[in-house]
Structure 1
């Protein structure tokens, strides 16, 4: 099972995600934020977006919104964005 191992804020709506298989990619939450739901609306605030953290290997925010590392990994892999860490 793929898990997130690190994240770094790279902009108002972008995170650099590193996964347990040694791959990493920038991920933009722009499309997710554009849905403008009760759970995603707070992410439009850059200060709140930057409060992202890893909980149980998943991407999470303080309001309880979580995204599966597996789903994120699959989307990033399908888009060709994942890069294996050379280290």
Structure 2
């Protein structure tokens, strides 16, 4: 159990996952470093069928990924993806 802002929660508090490093790789993959020190590879190809991520099919846009407050973003922040989703759906580098 832990208490945060005066509210008691069951279980243990999980640390907030953030991205501390990102590099675009070939075949729409991302190399990621997380704030817990782990490095992973995320395959973005399955996400490209989603309307939210379809602009990233353009490799010139995909390779412009950068980090904004621990979140990977593209197009001046118009496109982003959750660090938690990336962490849970990537493989160790």
TM-score range, shorter chain: 0.7 to 0.9
- Given the alignment of the two structures, is residue 19 of structure 1 paired with residue 53 of structure 2, yes or no? no
Runs (5+) with no aligned partner, structure 1: none
Q: Is the 8 A contact 1:33 1:43 kept in 2?
A: yes
Q: Secondary structure at the match of 2:64?
A: coil
User: Quick check: which has more Rg, 1 or 2?
Assistant: 2
Give structure 1 regions of 4+ aligned residues with deviation exceeding 6 angstroms.
none
Aligned twin of 2:78 = 64
CA distance in 2, matches of 1:48, 1:72: 19
Q: Is the 8 A contact 2:66 2:72 kept in 1?
A: yes
Pairs aligned (count): 77
Higher relative contact order (CA 8 A, sep 6+): 1
Q: Which range is displaced more, 17-26 or 60-69? A: 60-69
Compute the TM-score of the two structures, normalised by the length of structure 1: 0.79
Q: Is the 8 A contact 1:12 1:49 kept in 2?
A: no
CA distance in 1, matches of 2:26, 2:40: 14
Root-mean-square deviation (CA), in Å?
1.5
Q: Is the 8 A contact 1:5 1:19 kept in 2?
A: yes
CA distance in 2, matches of 1:75, 1:27: 7
Match of 1:82 among 70, 85, 92: 92
